[in-house]
Structure 1
Amino acid sequence: MLALSINDIKVGVELADKNAVIHALAHWLEEDGHVASGYQAGMMAREAKAATYLGQGIAIPHGTQACRHLIQNTGIKVLHLPQGVEWGDGEKAYLVLGIAARSDEHLDLLKQLAKTLSQDNLQKRVMAITEPEQVLALLQDPAEPKEVGLPLVHIATELDAETLLQLTDHALELVSCSTQEQAQLRQAAPIHIGQGWWLSQTNACHGPSQAALVTANVHSPLLMQTPAVRGVLVLFVKGVGHKALLDQLLAWLAVKQGAALAALHSATALLDALEAGPAAYAQQRHSTEQIAVVRNTHGIHARPGAILVQIAKQFEAEVQVRNLEGDGQWMSAKSLMQMISLGAKRGHQLLFSASGADSEAAVSALVNGVKEGLGEALGEDLVEDVLAPEQATHEIQSQDEAQTKPITLEPNTELTGVAAAAGVAIGPVFVDVAVQFDYPQQGEDTVTEKAALAAAIEQACHDLSKAQAHSHDPQASDIIAMHQELLADPALSFGVNCRISQGQSAPAAWWSEINLAATRQANNKDALLAERAADIRDVGRRVMAILCDSPASIPPEHPYIWVAQEIGPSQLVNLDPQQVLGIVTVSGGAASHSAILAAALGIPALAGVNGAVMTIKNATHAILDGNRGCLTIAPDASIRQQAQAQQRQAKQAAARAWEERDLAAITQDKHRIDVAANLGGIKDASQVLASGGDGVGLLRTEFVFMSRRSAPDLASQTALYRPLFDALKGRPLLARTLDVGGDKPLPYWSSPKEDNPFLGVRGIRLCQQHPALLKTQIRALLMAANNRPVRIMFPMITDIAEWRWAKDRVNEIQAELNATQVELGIMIEVPAAALCAPVFAQEVDFFSIGTNDLTQYTMAVDRGNGELAYLGDGLHPSVLQLIKMTVEAAHQQGKWVGVCGELAADAQAVPILLGLGVDELSVSLARLPLVKSQIRQLSFAHCQWLAQQALVADDAAGVRRLMSQAEKGIAPDKEPG
């Protein structure tokens, strides 16, 4: 165990803020030879990504995995701050431990710290510290008398409860104690000891020590609370017999496996796991594994699921199963509800795992049951009914790396996809075929394989750190940091090491876990989150390349269009935009990290292209049009000349737009329109005026609420909004109230699962369920504005009653604060709101049209679905009709209308939106100068005529043809009179 001495502790320290504390600790660690220069940056990076505040006035700042190479020897330095410093989310830290750990020498100290945090009134004791010896008393495990035997332990799992108190009451039902003893325990509030586990303890025990350990149902809403409630340990203490049980639980929490412990489905398994410890139990649990392929025509529904459960219940072994094509979560094979929730369809692979005396027999019986159809007649046979784990690894990999069969691509062939980043690229293609890793399934020995894996991960972290150091793009830096966190993920390494302990080689074990994690992520219902599977595979391949000594293919030295099945974000970080002309991928979408980075680097990108693109011969010339979303193979001279002219014009237009960015957006015939900025946070606020913006046309206030453990209070919200108003110097700011729920849940609010979250409790609907939330946000906005121009907009309004309810909340606070510079409006993103615009227009101050959601709801298409991208075009005449209705209703009442969706920045849509009478366009900062410049070259009268033609077009493609002709100067059938 790491020895902590008085020389490592300073008390009575006064520092201004958290940054000053971290600076002092880093300097002290460096001064005493524990770390090299630069470790402070790693500590700050960790703090920016994840809170290091433990609770009860204690924080443990430490470096990221990426800066581990700077640690020369493990050390911990402790500062006691009697006045405390703000540590985020309204919490103050009084005792701060700066940690630099090369291995696991510090874990015993942290384990003792976990015990310490479970003590009552600890924060008061921390605040009252005056001597270093008092710190030692808190952080060092005192000598205890020998154990006199474990308490009487009662265990129950998967209990239904809606509150922590109900779960505690379930635990009390298991013990034998007096009503008075139970009452005394209830009076002591349970303490959160980490990862969803709670401790409730009383010393008023007249008989022997007793303990009750209970866990919540895996589908319980308790798991959605913050902090979550996974399990409760109730202790009736007499003597020290209970200490061993508490230490066993804390051993699981120390390695961040509290969730895994709570997921065990029987009392026997839970008790065995506690006694064995996390590492030993994991090895035992995975000792018997086999994979079966579902052959039932309709998959595992109720009837075959019931038979599977009956088979499992014939054995004493703890049997679990996970669907490798599903979310990958372990489920009890003895629970019918959980078997049905696997979502196992025909062809899916089920991984069975068992522990116990008859585990092999149990797994064998279950696999045979699946093979025989579980009582149902089977359809055509599937290849490979049963696979060994090693074979499954190769199966998953072959699916991941599979290439489409070659097809003939004639000159001028056009392949379409999802437009991921705007621009035009012309040049030869470089088809980057994924590396096929060659590795043995079985390892030499456990020690060698684990050492090889650790070295590969360390090398990968080092390479990422170098890439981060050379990157000047903040988004790229953030993505690299996220990849470093993935490499340091204890759950990932835990699974890999378990496989290595079974005899698998390091690359086989690593690739198996990477594929499972990526498959689980790809199956996420949220399209944006599903696309993050690319990040997992990217990290996985980076380590695999090191383990297998398989460097990536070498691109040509001349400029090229990069074509690949999938391009990982870390591959994009240090590319040269002068060398990589454009990017084309078969997988991914516009919301992937690769697409985001490509756009930030100004590189045209296309995603979701037909797999035939991988068969193009290297050095074949092509034209990538990131505006239209297409790739033209081997274009003839005339097509190439048109594309080159388009490139030149775009470059000249961008330069001219930037030079004239401060000029007003006034058409040739003197019609003015405001162009504002869309913002998702405060970091770009200073660029709004610098880019020529007329204000902020959409502030997505979700940034204030996301990535927090609890709802932000009034002070923290006000502090975040105020710099925005300062930066605008009197220009208006339009803030959309919290637009979460349903498809964008907050971690600290439990909400029922919804089959279609886009049609669920979100936006204003969520705020009506939590009115205090809306009132706090409104109050913070008005206080931050301090009578500077502020516009407040409510999202997801469908009914006039919702608007009036929200307006009443604002009116109360506005009168209280005497706020005068306030406009109130609604977001038009639901067809019902557009259809009722004449009613709303009589009461609102403005409308702002969110074309992204309005298109989605009008066309009944998920905008994240690449296959339906052709239907999700905001220039469809039906969407334009709704915009027209909204504008006309507003103008009749003297109100203004803005557009804040992506359509506002679409060069083909801008003239039509002007022609429909829209008063304001709100776009990204990058597009601000270009949109203003485009407006200055337009005729308002011609825009009105174009809008009328667009309204009667057949479809969105017809509207875009109309605009393409207008761009080329082709005379229309009828000119505006």
Structure 2
Amino acid sequence: MTSVVVHAPMAGWLAPLGEVPDAAFAEGLVGDGVAIDPTEPVVRAPFDGVVVGLPASRHAVTVRSAEGVEVLIHVGLETVALNGAGFTVHAAEGAKVKAGDPLLTLDLDVIADGAKSLLSPVIVVGGGAATAIDPGRSVRAGEAILTVVIEDGAAVQGQGETLTTMVRAPLPHGLHARPAARIAACAKGFDARVTLRLGERRADAASLVALMGLGVRDGDELKLEASGRQAAEALEAVRALILSGLEEGQGHTATVVASVKAAPIIGEDGELILSGVTAAPGLVVGRAVRLRQSEIVVAEAGRGVAAETTALHQALSAVRSQIERAAAGGGAHRRAILAAHLAFLDDPGLIETAERHVAEGRGAGFAWREATRAGAALFRAMDDPRMAERADDLLDLERQVLIALSGEAAPAPVAIGPGSIVVADDLLPSQLMALDAARLAGICTVRGGPTSHVAILAAAMGVPALVAVGDGLERVEDGVLVVLDADGRQMIAAPSAARQARAQSAAAARERRRADARALAGEDCRTADGVRIEVFANLGDAAEAAPAVAGGAEGCGLLRTEFLFLERETAPDEDEQLAEYQAIADALDGRPLIVRTLDAGGDKPLPYLPTPPEENPALGLRGVRSGLHRPDILLTQLRAICRVRSRGAVAVMLPMIASVAEVRQARAMLDVAVAETGGAAPLLGVMIETPAAAMTTDRLAPAIDFISFGTNDLTQYALAMDRQNAGLAAQLDGLHPAVLRLIARSVEGAGALKWIGVCGGLASDLTAVPILIGLGVRELSATPSMVAEVKAVVRGLTLDDCRALAAEALAQDGAEAVRALAGERLAALLQPRAVGAVA
């Protein structure tokens, strides 16, 4: 074990880092250190080393010692906005310096006028653990202020050449939780230390919280640095990953919603009407159950560093085991959220911050709370509602770890009766997962947002949820009757008799339709005049297959194979893929299985499948193009599919097709896979997602066996509207006549293919179903929860009615007109309730 002494880079008052009026510095999220309130205008080198960081704004400088210790000297706070005014540079980036050499000269009057504070953090940002030497005193330049201890072997990564590169981040939604987790996972896979720099801010690439704390926005230029045995490999892997776009693969459009602060309205007969934001749709009537959680008391003083450190890591391990067990069951959404919690739990930034507090004599519980609260505050300070919602995940983990530290059993889940509507200031994901789903009718919270993990879970459970309710929810008493109208963005407490009757009638009608649909879900689906319409389910992994079949799915119309390829550093091999595909085929029990080949690129980047920088990844190397770009990965997948054994049809579906040439190349590879494996040749089809494919289906048809419309992408490409753009979400509607005309043209060109299907969002849209059938679609692949209702709608239709409706839809001016037309025609069957019908 070795140590490096850091000397004061300037004269002034030496203060503990916690006194800095900036959470990122004060809470140690940037690194350990001290702060100096300067009394002289010269910033000097803190030891012998090399200047490795000097932004154009000149307000900060980083020096690295021969041992690999890096110290950031940040002159004042919010001084980056001065754009160099008041700073004179004496040592350029890359220059070798001796302890005491001048680095910067400061015009303190100019800087003081433009700075939030002159208090200047001196932070150890890499190479070891720092301990302050007697803060709270006056120091002269050159006095020892920090001791940095380098554990044996810890300096290896910092030795040798440090490689750097610049990269402009194509991140339309910023560096939020999932992309940050991908960077961290990638960096941890190498024997190297990787850091990201954005202006004055710096983050260890292995720290999820630090990465998210950078506040990276679309187009920001990042400086990547790597040192260690695998520095070159790590640098290139992280660079390629960032250039790939790093966005999530859910096709989810975030909605930016401000908290609703509307005052409660007193309605008829004294009812209390509260407004909020829809997080999961639905209408229910039930009894309010108030969920309260008390603050867990923790002792600030510890029982010794060794004891508290052991207790902290034992608690982290216990919670990790609990989350892993919980992740073993449930749907894909639940597992994805719990995986994000595991990433936070293993975040080195959080753990190091907690350990620093323990080293200062604090108890493990106090230390963990300080670390998580600092991270949560950082997220909430960002100008991005989705990032603010990730703070709730940290607070969820805070509570779980504190319970584990207490040594007591976790509190029993809140007991709720049938038809309970949980009301709370906020609800944590773990609390929602612990509730009895069979008794939970709805959720209403003061806080939260439509993109929170609670919202995602509620939607997956089919539980109506209203969030961001402003003032007044505290006035809803436990046990009072409430109407939760998430569609109408309202909750009505103590509803009048008339309103209660209207709501109960609407809710009962909806539930009857759903119950009737579920009762007949297992029967084959035919229109009222006998036309066979196959209703399949879109699946994300093997765990979803059996429940989908139980819910009436007649096959799998889209298996998204990305679940096998994401969140890992190498592609799955052939045997691993075969095991998963075979498990799904077995669960389908002879029903058709359509496997979409890897749809990577665009919003689904992979660290082992890097793509070149693209101005618009949605138009770049994605879908089948990425497979043809890496034929080794595509051929392995095709071989695995060919080896699947099933009594039903097994099919390969190619995403993002734009030309016949792409189909022919893929067909040739499939022929090779069949010959090499000796398996049965699967059917080959394509997704119609591009206008090019829709307009040339007649040319594609001779080379394929079926088509399926990916209406989400087809809509964005037809309307030239990015489906990731929240501002365009209301206009991005697959029932736009332009999209419907492309579908009609494509069906006309498809001829007599085995399947003419839809696997995009329109297949789950009950309003769209009769129009699609009228256009010639005979297979609908919906989300599993919608299969029964889709089949029920189809059974009430006749082909002539569908064709007439489709013809009228094609003649409308826009999507709103199409929806109004279809809604009117379906009113007698579906009895749709307009938003606010219970008002």
TM-score when scaled to structure 2? 0.62
Answering whether residue 284 of structure 2 is matched by residue 425 of structure 1, we say yes
Of the three residues 439, 447, 455, the one matched with 2:304 is 447
2:77 partner letter: A
2:308 partner letter: A
Separation (CA, whole Å) in 1 of partners of 2:90 and 2:259: 36
Of the three residues 920, 923, 929, the one matched with 2:782 is 923
Q: Given that residues 452 and 506 in structure 1 are in contact (C-alpha distance below 8 angstroms), is that contact kept between their aligned partners in structure 2?
A: yes
Equivalent position of 1:644 in the other structure: 504
1:266 to 1:611, Cα distance in 2 relative to 1, 3 A: same
Answering whether residue 266 of structure 2 is matched by residue 407 of structure 1, we say no
Q: How is 1:126-137 mapped onto 2 (pairs within 5 angstroms)?
A: none
Separation (CA, whole Å) in 2 of partners of 1:744 and 1:862: 15
1:434 to 1:863, Cα distance in 2 relative to 1, 3 A: farther
**Residue by residue, what CA displacement relative to the aligned partner does 1:183-208 show, whole Å, maximum 9, x if unpaired?**
xxxxxxxxxxxxxxxxxxxxxxxxxx
Answering whether residue 71 of structure 2 is matched by residue 292 of structure 1, we say no
Answering whether residue 104 of structure 2 is matched by residue 314 of structure 1, we say yes
1:333 to 1:451, Cα distance in 2 relative to 1, 3 A: same
Separation (CA, whole Å) in 2 of partners of 1:790 and 1:419: 37
Q: How is 1:689-728 mapped onto 2 (pairs within 5 angstroms)?
A: 689-728=549-588
1:898 partner letter: G
Q: How is 1:439-838 mapped onto 2 (pairs within 5 angstroms)?
A: 443-444=300-301, 447=304, 451=308, 454=311, 458=315, 461=318, 465=322, 473=330, 483=341, 486-487=344-345, 491-502=349-360, 509-515=367-373, 517-518=375-376, 534-543=392-401, 560-563=420-423, 566-577=426-437, 580-584=440-444, 592-606=452-466, 609=468, 611=470, 617-618=476-477, 622-625=482-485, 628=487, 630-631=489-490, 633=492, 637-687=497-547, 689-752=549-612, 754=614, 756-785=616-645, 789-814=649-674, 821-838=681-698
Separation (CA, whole Å) in 2 of partners of 1:781 and 1:617: 55
Deviates more, 1:804-813 or 1:525-534: 525-534
SS in 1 for 2:284: strand
Tell me the CA shift for residue 847 of structure 1.
1.5
1:904 to 1:405, Cα distance in 2 relative to 1, 3 A: closer
Separation (CA, whole Å) in 2 of partners of 1:516 and 1:629: 36
Separation (CA, whole Å) in 2 of partners of 1:308 and 1:915: 75
Answering whether residue 127 of structure 2 is matched by residue 268 of structure 1, we say no
Tell me the CA shift for residue 527 of structure 1.
11
Q: Given that residues 319 and 400 in structure 2 are in contact (C-alpha distance below 8 angstroms), is that contact kept between their aligned partners in structure 1?
A: no
Q: Given that residues 667 and 936 in structure 1 are in contact (C-alpha distance below 8 angstroms), is that contact kept between their aligned partners in structure 2?
A: yes
Q: Given that residues 742 and 754 in structure 1 are in contact (C-alpha distance below 8 angstroms), is that contact kept between their aligned partners in structure 2?
A: no
Separation (CA, whole Å) in 1 of partners of 2:778 and 2:538: 16
Across the aligned residues of Structure 1 and Structure 2, the Cα RMSD in angstroms comes to 5.5
Of the three residues 926, 941, 952, the one matched with 2:800 is 941
**Residue by residue, what CA displacement relative to the aligned partner does 1:437-475 show, whole Å, maximum 9, x if unpaired?**
9999xx546838983994798399579959978998567
User: Gaps spanning 5+ residues in structure 2: where?
Assistant: 3-48, 54-60, 94-101, 106-119, 127-173, 185-193, 204-210, 221-257, 832-839
Tell me the CA shift for residue 770 of structure 1.
0.6
Tell me the CA shift for residue 478 of structure 1.
8.1
Q: Given that residues 416 and 630 in structure 1 are in contact (C-alpha distance below 8 angstroms), is that contact kept between their aligned partners in structure 2?
A: yes
1:900 partner letter: C
Separation (CA, whole Å) in 2 of partners of 1:309 and 1:508: 42
Separation (CA, whole Å) in 2 of partners of 1:720 and 1:575: 31
Of the three residues 732, 744, 763, the one matched with 1:884 is 744
**Residue by residue, what CA displacement relative to the aligned partner does 1:330-373 show, whole Å, maximum 9, x if unpaired?**
9788988979996689xx9xxxxxxxxxxxxxxxxxxxxxxxxx
**Residue by residue, what CA displacement relative to the aligned partner does 1:603-635 show, whole Å, maximum 9, x if unpaired?**
22345x565685775578654345x47335466
Tell me the CA shift for residue 737 of structure 1.
0.2
Answering whether residue 786 of structure 2 is matched by residue 913 of structure 1, we say no
SS in 2 for 1:870: coil
SS in 2 for 1:314: strand
SS in 2 for 1:793: strand
Q: Given that residues 276 and 470 in structure 2 are in contact (C-alpha distance below 8 angstroms), is that contact kept between their aligned partners in structure 1?
A: no
2:782 partner letter: V
Separation (CA, whole Å) in 2 of partners of 1:739 and 1:525: 31
Q: Given that residues 898 and 919 in structure 1 are in contact (C-alpha distance below 8 angstroms), is that contact kept between their aligned partners in structure 2?
A: yes
Separation (CA, whole Å) in 2 of partners of 1:717 and 1:616: 54
Q: Given that residues 312 and 365 in structure 2 are in contact (C-alpha distance below 8 angstroms), is that contact kept between their aligned partners in structure 1?
A: no
1:406 to 1:446, Cα distance in 2 relative to 1, 3 A: farther
Separation (CA, whole Å) in 1 of partners of 2:630 and 2:261: 54
Tell me the CA shift for residue 530 of structure 1.
8.9
Separation (CA, whole Å) in 2 of partners of 1:970 and 1:869: 28
SS in 2 for 1:292: coil
**Residue by residue, what CA displacement relative to the aligned partner does 1:663-702 show, whole Å, maximum 9, x if unpaired?**
2211112222111122222234445554443222111122
Separation (CA, whole Å) in 2 of partners of 1:308 and 1:868: 50
Tell me the CA shift for residue 778 of structure 1.
1.0
Separation (CA, whole Å) in 1 of partners of 2:327 and 2:265: 39
Separation (CA, whole Å) in 2 of partners of 1:786 and 1:853: 30
SS in 2 for 1:425: strand
1:916 to 1:748, Cα distance in 2 relative to 1, 3 A: same
Equivalent position of 1:845 in the other structure: 705
1:777 partner letter: Q
1:945 to 1:303, Cα distance in 2 relative to 1, 3 A: farther
Separation (CA, whole Å) in 1 of partners of 2:200 and 2:80: 19
How high is the sequence identity, in percent, across the aligned residues?
35
SS in 1 for 2:757: strand
Separation (CA, whole Å) in 2 of partners of 1:716 and 1:566: 41
SS in 2 for 1:871: coil
1:451 partner letter: E
1:292 partner letter: L
1:519 to 1:717, Cα distance in 2 relative to 1, 3 A: farther
Tell me the CA shift for residue 775 of structure 1.
1.2
Separation (CA, whole Å) in 2 of partners of 1:803 and 1:709: 29
Tell me the CA shift for residue 917 of structure 1.
2.0
2:394 partner letter: I
TM-score when scaled to structure 1? 0.54
SS in 2 for 1:938: coil
1:808 to 1:407, Cα distance in 2 relative to 1, 3 A: same
Tell me the CA shift for residue 661 of structure 1.
2.6
**Residue by residue, what CA displacement relative to the aligned partner does 1:368-426 show, whole Å, maximum 9, x if unpaired?**
xxxxxxxxxxxxxxxxxxxxxxxxxxxxxxxxxx9765534364978574553x54222
1:704 to 1:344, Cα distance in 2 relative to 1, 3 A: closer
Aligned positions, number? 637
Of the three residues 757, 761, 773, the one matched with 1:898 is 757
Separation (CA, whole Å) in 2 of partners of 1:868 and 1:510: 41
Separation (CA, whole Å) in 2 of partners of 1:414 and 1:854: 38
SS in 1 for 2:643: helix
1:449 to 1:514, Cα distance in 2 relative to 1, 3 A: farther
Equivalent position of 1:170 in the other structure: none
The one of the two structures with greater contact order (alpha-carbon pairs below 8 A, sep at least 6) is 2
Separation (CA, whole Å) in 2 of partners of 1:291 and 1:410: 52
Q: Given that residues 737 and 794 in structure 1 are in contact (C-alpha distance below 8 angstroms), is that contact kept between their aligned partners in structure 2?
A: yes
1:303 to 1:691, Cα distance in 2 relative to 1, 3 A: farther
1:533 to 1:625, Cα distance in 2 relative to 1, 3 A: same
Q: Given that residues 323 and 342 in structure 2 are in contact (C-alpha distance below 8 angstroms), is that contact kept between their aligned partners in structure 1?
A: no
Q: Given that residues 428 and 618 in structure 1 are in contact (C-alpha distance below 8 angstroms), is that contact kept between their aligned partners in structure 2?
A: no
